Structure formats: structure tokens, C-alpha cells
A = this chain, B = another copy of it.
Amino acid sequence: MGEVINHIDNSSNYNGQEEEQGDPESNTLNQPLVKANRTLSSTPLALVGTKVSHIESLDYEDKKSCGGNRYVTGLMMFAGANLGLTLVSSVLCVCFAPTAAGPGIPEIKAYLNGIDTPNMFGATTMFVKIIGSIGAVSAGLDLGKEGPLVHIGTCIASLLGQGGTDNHRIKWRWLRYFNNDRDRRDLITCGSAAGVCAAFRSPVGGVLFALEEVATWWRSALLWRTFFSTAVVVVVLREFIEICKSGKCGLFGRGGLIMFDVSHVTYTYHVADIIPVTLIGVIGGVLGSLYNHLLHKVLRLYNLINAKGKIHKVLLSLLVSLFTSVCLYGLPFLATCKPCDPSIEERCPTNGRSGNFKQFHCPKGYYSDLATLLLTTNDDAVRNIFSSNTPNEFSMGSLWIFFVLYCILGLFTFGIATPSGLFLPIILMGSAYGRMLGGVMGSYTSIDQGLYAVLGAASLMAGSMRMTVSLCVIFLELTNNLLLLPITMIVLLIAKTVGDSFNPSIYDIILHLKGLPFLEANPEPWMRNLSVGDLGDAKPPVVTLQGVEKVARIVDVLKNTTHNAFPVLDKEEVVPQIELHGLILRSHLVKVLKKRWFLTEKRRTEEWEVREKFPWDELAEREDNFDDVAITSSEMEMYVDLHPLTNTTPYTVMENMSVAKALVLFRQVGLRHLLIVPKIQASGMSPVVGILTRQDLRPYNILQAFPHLKNPKVGKHNE
């Protein structure tokens, strides 16, 4: 499962200063390669990109010294290559798999809540996501690879669960045992955990992410299954790192397990630091919710543009790419050149593929701090900002430019039609804001600016995504500094609390924008005052079937309704009493028609007849389409015994049950249909007065039908 994930991410941390490091100790696997955390390293995704290769070309041209003209050539090459990569990524997404655009996490969350987005977990989506993500990230766009990796993980899980792809005719029969809704749900949860693990190299963080953010239903067995998945990922990751240690992977180089290692850095903090820490949390929460608010507006605007057609989608992506390239290339000219500090061991200035202290337009012996941050991969930029004991390396002005640029890019890049993750853009913004705050607070506390940057990133993440435990562990596993834990926890909790008082989390906003009928964990207070009977009365009457039903009626019902399940009733002949036999699924009715399992007379069938005709693994498959079934008019007059295919024990609620309690039952037990039974059954009356589905229990839909509930007196909390 972890294979494709690791194919992308197996061996990051390419150490550009390989030739300069004579110390064999630093090459061993058991400690992170980035021993001093100032050593730059790039992920393979980024190395494909043109940012790096352009810097090199600039370097060659430097010798000719042909004035301002060479910068124009440089910009054209830079922007051109970026445009090309964006084009590939965007065209793939637009033409072959529209579901591959964006992070994919909201759809995964929705799937685990019970909402299946079509074509979300197919093979095409996966391949487009992989190639598109490589393209988009290497084009230097302000996008992360984390969200896409999670989506890729779930695609692999889903394909394994289905036993192969439906379209490409690759099916393993022995995998069909997992082809049911429950196992598929579990597999997709494991896949998302594996994706986070691969993205951040954070096995425990992956498990917690799946638990806190992605999953709706959680069973104790799922805990150790996700844990097993991430264990496999992390072991495969280590193996790739070990193989690449010997230099066989070319540019991919060698890497360590910890991405932004700050474990060897001594951070000091004391009681008085509670004020700046609180400040970081509060500002992070405010900024995070502001970001959510603005992103919501931008995404609505983009929806309008994207709705105009495929060309508009691609053009929008190209426009954003061009803007990004121009900003990244042009803005460093605004920054002043800073003299190299001769006491630092690292080479300064550098022009190579990687390395700190980029020279760019500066004279010898000077470096451009903004170019160091902008003309590098996003990962390396984060590492630079997280670096500690470097209070003077980046000027406040450069940090401001960086922060504002990435705020703008973060808002306008996310909605374009390429695979894109939200994690890295937010980390970039947050770390810049944190470091700036550290600069402002400078004299007040003894906290290092690098620590401010880490905390700033954490606070903005919590302020926007509203996760706590999983973010905390992901940051722990990213930075490998356990002593930061208490302070990170406080910042996360404050930022989440502040953010929650303004708006919902960014994933909830996207879910809402996409119109996915997500079922929240807690019922609204006004749901206590509404009974399911009222809800059922507001709907068209329920469509029921007889225990032994005519084929014509079944065809009629299937053609004229879109319901997914129908109550099956039995009329007692002797006493005028109608009995509820159970609930039959639409897909089972379609199966019956396809197999032409018809009876010439009205009779009950034996159980063995059904067992022979319908094996359980076929019944587990979902099939809704029966257009290709031609039923003759003589067959139409025949009968079907629905009894053996009926679920005889559906969950039921009495009609006077409150919607709030019905919702708790619906969500906790993980239902698709909930039958409403009458409180008093009189002879001859139907034993079912309604059927509730997910759509019926959505607050938005209920408020449409019952507008007077919008401003109710909030009932006492006494459940």
C-alpha cells in the first residue's frame, strides 16, 4: 500500500553539500542527516522543478556580465518552465480526472461519513493525482504535496479493497472479500493515515490525523489497523532511505526520517514567556479564521470562473503560475543585499542547486535574504525560517514581503485545477508570521526566533484546520524536539479556541462549498423540539412493496423513484393486519431483475434457492443500473418473493422520537435508512409511516421545510 506513496516521497532531504561533508558519522541512518539544521536539503519533487535549475543557469550567465538583460532571459526561462509544468498538471486534472484537483481530504472525510463522491478513488484519479502533484509542486506554486499524498493513499487503499480497477480490467479475485462497505471504509481510513505518514514521516501523527480529522466512526480495531499501516509506511521509508544512502538514487540523494529537525537546538523558555506564547496562539487563531473567511470568498469566485468551461480552468491555473513566477523572481530585487558573516562555516554566498545564502543579484561577499527564501523549494524555505540562533540572517523587511506574498499566493493558488495541499502554504505563512512576531518581541523574551516560527506555523494550522492532538504530534515528529511539547500544546489549544469562535474549520467550509451532505456529530439544539413524525409528514408518502410482489410493480418503482431502499410489507389474509417484514435495497431488486429470478405463481421460496442464486459476495456489490435488462410483458406478470432478500431487522424509531435522538442513532450506528413506525398501530394501517435518510436529517434541509425553527428558543440541555 505504501509503495506509490513512497515512490514520491521515499528519499527526500537531498543533501546538496555532499562533497563538503567529510564526517562519516553524519551519514549513518540512525540519526537525521540534517545534523546542523542550517544545512539545506530538497525533496525530490522540488528537484524536478525549475526554481533550482534556473538558479544554475543564472550562475553560468553570471560570467558574461551582460547587465539587466540576463535577468529578463532568466525570468522568461523561469516563468516558461513553470508555466509548462502547470499546464501539464492542470490539463491532466481538467481533462482526465476533475476529482484529482484540490487536496481530496474533504471528499475523503465525506466518504467516511457516508457520502460517496463518484470517481473519487479510481485508478485514473490516482495517476493524475501523482503526476499532477509532481507538476504543480515543481512549478513552484504555493501548494503542498501533503493533501495529495493522503488522497493517493486512500486511492491505493480503495483499489486494493475493490480488488483492482473497474475500468482497466485488472481484478484480483481473492481481494473480493474486502469488497463491502465496512472493509472499504476501514481501508480508506488506513490509507489516509498512511498518506499523512508518508507526507510528514509521522507515523503516530498519521494515526491521529485519521482519528481526529478524517474518520467519522471509530472502532478500537481501527486504531491498531491504522497503526499497522503507518508502521509499514515508515519501515518502507527507512528502507528507501537506506538504499539511497549509498548514492544509487542520483539526485534523490540521502535522507533522514525527520524533516525539519530541531532536536539539537536548545530552546530556553520560562514562566514569563506565557505572554508571548498566548499572543502567538491568539493571533494565530485570528489569522487562521481570517484566512478561512477570505479563502471561502476566493473559492466562491473561482467556482464561478471554473464553471465557464475547461479552457477557463486551465487559463486560471496558468495565470496564477505566471503571477507566482514573476513575484518569486522579481521581489528579491526589492531586498537589500546583506554582507556574509565570515564566522559561519557554510559557504556564502552560494549559487548552486541548493545551499543557503543565495547570491542572486548581489555582489560577491553579499547575499540576498529574500532570494534565499523565495528561490528555493517550499520545504527548504520552511527549514530556513525554522532555523534558530540566526536572529540577523533575515531582515524584517524581507520577512514582511515573504509573508504578504505567501498570504496572497495562499489565497489565490488553492482553488486552481491542480492537485494541491493546504498544509505547506499554511506552514509557510505561519512560520513567517511567527518569526516576524519574534523579531518584534525580540527584547522582551529569550525565546529564539526559530521557536517563534515553529509556534507561529503551529498556531496558524490550528487556527485554520482546528486540529489539536494530531497537529501536536505531527509537529513533534517533524521537529523531533520533545521539550517543545508543552508550549506547542498551549499554542494549539489557544489558537483552536480562538478560531472556533469565528468560523468553522477550513475543511468544513470546503465540504459546505462542495455541497456534500456531511452529517455533524452533534445535533442542533432546535432538533430536540421536532419529532421524526413531523419530518416524515413533510415528505412524500413512503413507497412500499409487498412480500411477494409483481415484477411490473418492481420495475415501476425502480424506474419512477430514486430511493435506495423500500420497506417490505406483508398483508395477513385472515386478520386485516399489515406486518412490516423489513427493508430491501434497490441494488438487490436490480439483482433480482438481472438474474430473472421470477416465479410463475405467488408463493414463498426456500432459503436454499436464494443461497444458490445469490452468493453473498455478489449481493455485497452495488449495482443500480438495469437499463440493459429487457423484461418481456409475460415476465412482467410474474412474481418475485422478496422475503429472503429483505433485511428483516432494520433499525426503527417511533414517530414521536425527537430528531436529535434519531440523528444520534443514525450517526452512531452508521445507518443509511431509518424507518419511522407509528406510535399506535391500528388494524389496516401501514406499520411504516416514513423512512429517514441522511438528506432528511441535514439541518439545512430541515430548515427549508420548517422555516419557523430558524430562530427557536434554545431548549435546555438535558439529554
Contact = CB atoms under 8 A, between A and B. Distances in A.
A669 B664 contact: yes
Counting contact residues on chain A (CB < 8 A from B), the size range is 35 or more
Contact of A242 (B203, B270, B522): B270
A679 interface: yes
Contact of A234 (B28, B204, B489, B716): B489
A468 B661 contact: no
A30 interface: yes
A115 interface: no
A65 interface: no
Interface string A449-493: 000000000000000000011001100110010110110011001
A21 interface: no
B656 A651 contact: no
Nearest to A265: B30
Nearest to A658: B649
A511 interface: no
Contacts of A31: 266, 483
A654 interface: yes
Contacts of A311: none
Contacts of A228: 493
Nearest to A480: B482
Given A30-B268, A271-B242, A652-B653, A493 B580 contact: no
B218 A223 contact: no
A486 B266 contact: no
Contacts of A502: none
A231 B486 contact: yes
Contacts of A681: 680-681
A464 to B, nearest CB: 16
B716 A616 contact: yes
B580 A220 contact: no
Interface in A571-603: 577, 579-580
A258 interface: yes
A469 B219 contact: no
A649 B665 CA distance: 12
A451 to B, nearest CB: 10
Interface in A210-252: 211-212, 218-221, 223-224, 227-228, 230-231, 234-235, 237-239, 242
A499 B715 CA distance: 50
Contact of A665 (B230, B238, B665): B665
B227 A521 contact: no
A490 B656 CA distance: 52
A483 B227 contact: no
Interface of A: 28-32, 182, 203-204, 207-208, 211-212, 218-221, 223-224, 227-228, 230-231, 234-235, 237-239, 242, 257-258, 263, 266-271, 468-469, 472-473, 476-477, 480, 482-483, 485-486, 489-490, 493, 496, 521-522, 577, 579-580, 616, 620, 648-649, 651-654, 656-658, 661, 664-665, 668-669, 677, 679-683, 687, 716, 718-719
